[in-house]
Amino acid sequence: MADEVHLVRDILDKQLVDRDRRLMGKADGIVLRMRGSGPPEVVAIEAGPGVLADRLHPGLGRRLCAALERLGKDIGQPLRIPFAKILHRGLDLQIDTDARRTSAYAAERWLKERLVRRFPGSGE
């Protein structure tokens, strides 16, 4: 069936790329909405170090996000992507967004602003 999606095989741990093929991290989590007695609905996929940490141990993600947020407001925030924004599923998941406008780039922005620009030859 062409419309079937095997969430673990086809979504979880896949590389996320934006519409211009910029890397956005990996799909670390899947968000489901329970609908009464009906089957659950896939709402979104999530990415970020806190989401991955929660897969390893419950509560670890919350502590990691709190620590990262001390460095910068957006760094610890998980990226939640509505499932409908997935443009293409293959080796990568192409998302209908601009990665630079998401929390996926928060750590890179922080490193550039606080660290990289201080190095000679960094272009700043």
User: What are φ and ψ of residue 44, in 5° steps?
Assistant: -160, 170
3-state class (DSSP) for residue 95 = strand
What value does the mean pLDDT take over residues 48-61? 85
Identity of residue 74: D
pTM higher than 0.85 for the full model? no
Residue 14 placed within a domain: yes
Q: Taking 70 as the threshold, does the pLDDT of residue 122 lie above it?
A: no
Residue 93 lies in domain: 7-118
Residue with tokens 């929390």: 103
Q: Residue 37: which CATH number? A: 2.30.30.240
Total number of domains in the chain: 1
Residue 1 placed within a domain: no
Q: Taking 60 as the threshold, does the pLDDT of residue 116 lie above it?
A: yes
3-state class (DSSP) for residue 52 = helix
Question: How is residue 27 annotated by DSSP?
Answer: -
The pLDDT score that the predictor gives to residue 66 is 78
Residue 73 placed within a domain: yes
Are the C-beta atoms of 25 and 54 separated by less than 8 Å? no
Residue 107 placed within a domain: yes
Q: Taking 70 as the threshold, does the pLDDT of residue 78 lie above it?
A: yes
The pLDDT score that the predictor gives to residue 1 is 44
Buried b (16+ CB within 10 A) or exposed e, 13-46: ebebbbeeebebbbbbbbbeeeeeeeeeebebbb
Residue 21 placed within a domain: yes
Residue 78 placed within a domain: yes
Instruction: Compute the 3-state secondary structure of the chain and give helix, strand, coil in percent, each to the nearest 5.
Output: 35, 30, 35
The pLDDT score that the predictor gives to residue 32 is 94
* DSSP H or E run through 110: helix 106-114
pLDDT digits (tens, 9 = 90+) for 7-50: 899 999 999 999 999 999 899 999 999 988 999 999 999 998 88
